[in-house]
Amino acid sequence: MKKTFTILAIGSALALGSAQAEIESSFHVGYSTDYVFRGANQGEGLYEYGIDFSGDASGGNTWNAGVWRADFSDGLSEETDIYGSVSKEFGAVELSLGLIRYDFGSGAAGDTSEIFLGAGTELCGLSLAAVAYYDVDAADGNMYGELSAGKSYEVGEGATLNLIATIGSTIDGGAGDDYVTYGLKAALSKELGDNLTGSIYIAGEITEGVRAASNEGDDLVGGLSLSYGF
């Protein structure tokens, strides 16, 4: 359930409509000590990899699509996310509409899909974003919202420090599934060669509400990754 700041069918159609546009792509592999998703620790020892595509489309739109795969040394056995989105700028604000499909492997329960709508802008050097997710497979259509603020610093020698703060909450989870999460993350990335980038990060998350009692994982998580663009 990565996330990441995605409608696959729409993105593909727009890409076909602008076949001459350049498509950017990247592949990455990574490891994290724990996998914490929206306040719940899904397991320890997250090994993950993914491929991502993006490009320009007709009408001034941009699109993004990809696949993310995760395997765990403890907890969930596997997870595959397929995602896509289209985005368009309206003045200083960029709006995005997307779809994420979560698949937990054969025999596992919980497979689901989410539609999301997001908005982002730059203000006083900060990257600000708001995203709302709607679970289309849930019987009552669960919704989740997240606000974030980020700042990037060039630290020399091709390295960049990214800081981000987030707050997420159920929107209509009800008393049985109502929670709020607060997160802080610091990531340092560095160019290691042509199209190759390495990154390390540390993140902390605090959860209040129904998930706080069931979350037995670490509040502090770390990890690293390698990304290659082509």
**Residues with Cβ within 8 Å of residue 2, at least 6 apart in sequence:** 48, 50, 68, 70, 81
Domains of the chain: 8-229 (2.40.160.40)
Residue 48 has which token pair?
């993950």
The string of DSSP letters for 52-115 reads: EEEEE-GGGEEEEEEEEEEEESSS-SEEEEEEEEEEEEETTEEEEEEEEEEE--TT-S--EEEE
* Residue-wise pLDDT tens digits, 13-61: 444 454 455 899 999 999 999 888 888 888 889 999 999 999 998 888 9
pLDDT of residue 46: 92
What is the structure's pLDDT at 130? 98
Name residues whose C-beta falls within 8 Å of residue 13's C-beta, 6 or more positions apart in sequence.
Answer: none
Q: Which residues of the chain have pLDDT under 70?
A: 1-21, 74-76, 106-108, 139-141, 173-176, 210-218
Residues 6+ apart with CB under 8 A from 189: 159, 160, 162, 197, 198, 199
pLDDT at res. 145: 96
Q: What is the pLDDT of residue 13?
A: 44
pLDDT at 215: 55
| pLDDT score at 138 | 74
Q: What is the DSSP string of the chain?
A: -------HHHHHHHHHHTTTS-EEEEEEEEEEEEEEETTEEEEEEEEEEEEEEEEE-GGGEEEEEEEEEEEESSS-SEEEEEEEEEEEEETTEEEEEEEEEEE--TT-S--EEEEEEEEEEEETTEEEEEEEEEESSSTT--EEEEEEEEEEEEEETTEEEEEEEEEEEESS--GGG-EEEEEEEEEEEEEEETTEEEEEEEEEEEEEEHHHHH--S-SEEEEEEEEEE-
Which pLDDT score, from 0 to 100, does residue 152 have?
97
